[in-house]
Amino acid sequence: MTKRHILIADDDASIRALLRSLLEGDGYRVSEARTGGEVINLLSDGKPVDLLLMDLRMPELSGMDILQRITDQGLGVPVILMTAFGTANIAIKAIQLGAHDYITKPFEIEDVLVTIRRFFEYQELTAEVRALRTQVGARDPTERIVGRSSCMLEIYKTIGKVARTDATVLIMGETGTGKELVAETIHFNSLRRTAPLVKVACASLPETLLESELFGHEKGSFTSAYTQRKGRFELANKGTIFLDEIGEMSLGTQKKLLRVLQEREFERVGGNVPIKVDTRVVAATNKNLLEEVEAGRFRADLYYRLNVITIHMPPLRERKDDIPFLVEHFLDKHRFAPGAPPAKITDEAIELLMRHDWPGNVRELENTIERAVVLAQGGVITGRHLLLTPVSTNRIIDVGDRVRNGVTLEATIADVERLMILEALRQHGGDRSAAAHALGLPRRQLLARMRDLNIEPALETAAAPVGTGASAPS
Ligand SMILES: Nc1ncnc2c1ncn2[C@@H]1O[C@H](COP(=O)(O)OP(=O)(O)OP(=O)(O)O)[C@@H](O)[C@H]1O
Ligand SMILES: [Mg+2]
């Protein structure tokens, strides 16, 4: 085991020497700093320090200032303060600022050692608890991937081979094919499983916001940057970052991302201190990235960086043999009531599911089953409950007929809107963000329109077909 590294910060050379011999004798590795500036330099240096043992009263920067900087700069080092006897108020303030503990001077040698040992014990315990909690709480997503078709078996093999490496993985596939599920599976089967898996939806943010989301920003770097903030890359340090919908990333952001992939280093927006991270990258897209490269919308060099290992998620229509297994899985997942047994489904209904084309892939299938369970009220699911392909919604609106029948322009526009929204929801398996994207609307606006038009979220595809005259104002 490597020795724990303690940084002693005190302007008094005799105290530093005393603590050094004491701590080295107890098996720690020790460094020394004489001033606040030295402390910050050593910490920013990137060499890991497990504990900072710091005098409150120091030249240049006081212990309080240093604590503040440690928090602000996200240096993440635990601190035990040494304060002169009788300054309890300051000690309390120090704890509030994030110091872990404090020792009063003059100190007993044994007190120092006990305080430090206790700190490391506490740290080990919390790490253990956190690890246990992720294992229990996040239940291994591997158990949730269903499918025995040969293409899925190939995918499991690839995941098995790459999960424990740090290789960048690019997951391509249509909407709802399970890209995010695969990304989770890779993370939870990797050595990084106890560290965070941080997800970023690249399509949902404008360029400047996305950059500050990814890389963080310094205070005042743009109008709304009131405080300094860590980016997702930093939050995912030692873990995995999942860059979803990477095909939507602007060329400017792509350039910055390329640098992170090449050098594992970046600066916060508005900052100039390079930050090093150890973050594994998994990216997903439903676009054909090679086509995007050819069209000049995606950087070729970034494409090749991402494309170290590529996993192609097959559309559900190309692996229909998996449908019965998926149905069984979703019936188990979506019970009519908590504790109720999984609903039953007729062979005829399965037959219909096998014949459907599933443009929204597994997500559409899952939504269909979830809805059928509700519609069947806990009874047996039949074809009636599936509400597949609402053929009539695609009917073209007969303008001549409408004008003749006095249907207003407003009512007709509302009908067209309803049809477009329902169709977009259907094609994207009920995913409203994807539907909004397809319609060229901000998600919020789509939700507002759905409310105005009375489109039932759970029953999108079940809405009444719109025929001529049917919606004439009364
Ligand atoms: N093989 C599978 N087994 C079980 N559930 C699956 C499978 N594939 C997908 N799902 C489920 O389908 C839903 C959609 O999957 P996911 O979000 O991973 O798709 P996606 O490819 O990321 O979609 P999008 O491109 O729209 O973001 C999720 O609820 C997921 O759990
Ligand atoms: Mg997704």
The domain that holds 256 is classified in CATH as: 3.40.50.300
Q: Does residue 207 have a pLDDT over 70?
A: yes
- Cα 185 to averaged position of ligand 2 atoms, centre (Å): 13
- Cα 459 to averaged position of ligand 1 atoms, centre (Å): 20
Contacts of 262 (CB under 8 A, 6+ apart): 305
Q: How much is the pLDDT for 197?
A: 94
Which tokens in the block code for residue 16?
Answer: 């530093």
The answer to the question of residue 287 being in a domain is yes
The ligand 1 atom at the shortest distance from the C-alpha of residue 329 is 4
Residue whose Cα lies nearest atom 15 of ligand 1: it is: 178
Q: Kindly state whether residues 63 and 201 are assigned to the same domain.
A: no
Confidence bin at 393 (pLDDT 50/70/90): very low
Q: Kindly state whether residues 195 and 332 are assigned to the same domain.
A: no
387 by Cβ neighbours in 10 Å (0-12 / 13-18 / 19+) ranks as: middle
Per-residue pLDDT of 3-23, as tens digits, reads 899 999 999 999 999 999 999
Query: Can you tell me the mean pLDDT for 355-362?
Result: 88
The answer to the question of residue 141 being in a domain is no
The ligand 1 atom at the shortest distance from the C-alpha of residue 365 is 12
Q: Does residue 241 have a pLDDT over 60?
A: yes
Q: What average pLDDT does the chain have?
A: 84
Q: How much is the pLDDT for 233?
A: 95
- Cα 170 to averaged position of ligand 2 atoms, centre (Å): 13
Confidence bin at 132 (pLDDT 50/70/90): low
Q: Which of 98, 133, 168 is the last residue of a domain?
A: 133
Give the range of the structural domain holding residue 151, as residue numbers without chain letter: 146-314
Alpha carbon 140 to chain centroid, angstroms: 16
Contact 6, 19 (CB under 8 A): no
- Cα 190 to averaged position of ligand 1 atoms, centre (Å): 20
**pLDDT over 90 for what percent of the chain?**
45
CATH of the domain at 381: 1.10.8.60
The ligand 1 atom at the shortest distance from the C-alpha of residue 145 is 3
Q: Kindly state whether residues 10 and 65 are assigned to the same domain.
A: yes
Q: Does residue 469 have a pLDDT over 80?
A: no
Residue whose Cα lies nearest atom 29 of ligand 1: it is: 363
Q: How much is the pLDDT for 471?
A: 37
- Cα 176 to averaged position of ligand 2 atoms, centre (Å): 7
429 compared with 238, residue with greater pLDDT: 238
Tell me which residue of 139, 137, 184, 145 sits closest to 366, measured CA to CA: 145
- Cα 180 to averaged position of ligand 2 atoms, centre (Å): 5
Considering only 197-201, 262-266, 329-333, 409-413, which range has the smallest mean pLDDT? 409-413
Q: How much is the pLDDT for 386?
A: 87
**pLDDT over 70 for what percent of the chain?**
86
Q: How much is the pLDDT for 91?
A: 62
For the chain, how are helix, strand and coil distributed in percent, rounded to 5? 50, 15, 35
Q: Kindly state whether residues 333 and 301 are assigned to the same domain.
A: no
Residue whose Cα lies nearest atom 18 of ligand 1: it is: 178
Confidence bin at 354 (pLDDT 50/70/90): very high
| Ligand 1 touching residue 327 (CB < 6 A) | no
Q: Kindly state whether residues 118 and 91 are assigned to the same domain.
A: yes
- Cα 268 to averaged position of ligand 1 atoms, centre (Å): 33
Q: Does residue 466 have a pLDDT over 50?
A: no
The answer to the question of residue 436 being in a domain is yes
Rounded Cα distance between 328 and 331, Å, is 5
The answer to the question of residue 195 being in a domain is yes
Q: Which of 387, 410, 442 is the last residue of a domain?
A: 387
Tell me which residue of 445, 395, 435, 389 sits closest to 419, measured CA to CA: 395
| Ligand 1 touching residue 239 (CB < 6 A) | no
DSSP letter (8 states) at residue 12: -
Q: Does residue 467 have a pLDDT over 50?
A: no
Residue 170 β-bridge partners? 283, 310
- Cα 12 to averaged position of ligand 2 atoms, centre (Å): 57
Q: How much is the pLDDT for 397?
A: 64
Considering only 93-107, 179-193, 278-292, 425-439, which range has the smallest mean pLDDT? 93-107
The ligand 1 atom at the shortest distance from the C-alpha of residue 173 is 21
Q: Which ligand is nearest to the CA of 430?
A: 1
Q: How much is the pLDDT for 167?
A: 94
Q: How much is the pLDDT for 465?
A: 37
Q: Which of 187, 363, 368 to mutate to test the pocket of ligand 1 (most atoms within 8 A of CB)?
A: 363
Q: Does residue 391 have a pLDDT over 50?
A: no
Q: How much is the pLDDT for 130?
A: 61
CATH of the domain at 43: 3.40.50.2300
Residue whose Cα lies nearest atom 28 of ligand 1: it is: 363
Query: Can you tell me the mean pLDDT for 54-72?
Result: 84
Q: How much is the pLDDT for 129?
A: 60
Confidence bin at 1 (pLDDT 50/70/90): low
| Ligand 1 touching residue 463 (CB < 6 A) | no
Q: How much is the pLDDT for 67?
A: 86
- Number of domains forming the structure of the chain: 4
- What does R_g of the chain's alpha carbons equal in angstroms? 29
Query: Can you tell me the mean pLDDT for 45-50?
Result: 82
Contact 390, 459 (CB under 8 A): no
The answer to the question of residue 138 being in a domain is no
Q: Kindly state whether residues 310 and 290 are assigned to the same domain.
A: yes
CATH of the domain at 405: 1.10.10
Considering only 34-43, 250-259, 284-293, 417-426, which range has the smallest mean pLDDT? 417-426
- Cα 362 to averaged position of ligand 1 atoms, centre (Å): 6
The ligand 1 atom at the shortest distance from the C-alpha of residue 182 is 18
Q: Which of 156, 362, 366, 431 to mutate to test the pocket of ligand 1 (most atoms within 8 A of CB)?
A: 362
Q: Does residue 385 have a pLDDT over 90?
A: no
Q: Kindly state whether residues 67 and 165 are assigned to the same domain.
A: no
Q: Kindly state whether residues 193 and 159 are assigned to the same domain.
A: yes
Strand order in the sheet with 197-201: 197-201, 240-244, 280-285, 169-173, 309-313
Q: Which of 363, 387, 411 is the last residue of a domain?
A: 387
The ligand 1 atom at the shortest distance from the C-alpha of residue 286 is 25
Choose the most confident range, by mean pLDDT, from 84-88, 333-337, 341-345.
341-345
| Ligand 1 touching residue 141 (CB < 6 A) | no
The answer to the question of residue 280 being in a domain is yes
DSSP letter (8 states) at residue 269: B
| Ligand 1 touching residue 178 (CB < 6 A) | yes
Q: Which ligand is nearest to the CA of 182?
A: 1
- Cα 181 to averaged position of ligand 1 atoms, centre (Å): 6
Contact 302, 189 (CB under 8 A): no
Alpha carbon 236 to chain centroid, angstroms: 9
Query: Can you tell me the mean pLDDT for 94-115?
Result: 80
Q: How much is the pLDDT for 88?
A: 55
Query: Can you tell me the mean pLDDT for 414-420?
Result: 82
Residue 433 CB coordination number (10 Å)? 16
Contact 427, 376 (CB under 8 A): no
Q: Kindly state whether residues 371 and 401 are assigned to the same domain.
A: no
Confidence bin at 429 (pLDDT 50/70/90): confident
13 compared with 469, residue with greater pLDDT: 13
- Cα 427 to averaged position of ligand 1 atoms, centre (Å): 15
Contact 245, 201 (CB under 8 A): yes
452 by Cβ neighbours in 10 Å (0-12 / 13-18 / 19+) ranks as: exposed
- Cα 85 to averaged position of ligand 2 atoms, centre (Å): 57
Q: How much is the pLDDT for 395?
A: 47
| Ligand 1 touching residue 309 (CB < 6 A) | no
First to last CA, the chain: 81
Query: Can you tell me the mean pLDDT for 401-411?
Result: 78
The answer to the question of residue 383 being in a domain is yes
Q: Does residue 462 have a pLDDT over 70?
A: no
Considering only 39-43, 96-100, 416-420, 440-444, which range has the smallest mean pLDDT? 96-100
How many angstroms separate the most distant Cα atoms in the chain?
99
The answer to the question of residue 88 being in a domain is yes
Q: Is 286 left (phi over 0), alpha (psi -120 to 50) or beta?
A: alpha
Rounded Cα distance between 224 and 230, Å, is 15
Query: Can you tell me the mean pLDDT for 418-425?
Result: 84
Q: Which ligand is nearest to the CA of 435?
A: 1
Q: Kindly state whether residues 113 and 173 are assigned to the same domain.
A: no
Confidence bin at 398 (pLDDT 50/70/90): low
Q: Kindly state whether residues 88 and 224 are assigned to the same domain.
A: no
Beta strands in 238-386 (DSSP E): 240-244, 265-266, 275-276, 280-285, 309-313
Rounded Cα distance between 59 and 237, Å, is 33
Q: Kindly state whether residues 123 and 171 are assigned to the same domain.
A: no
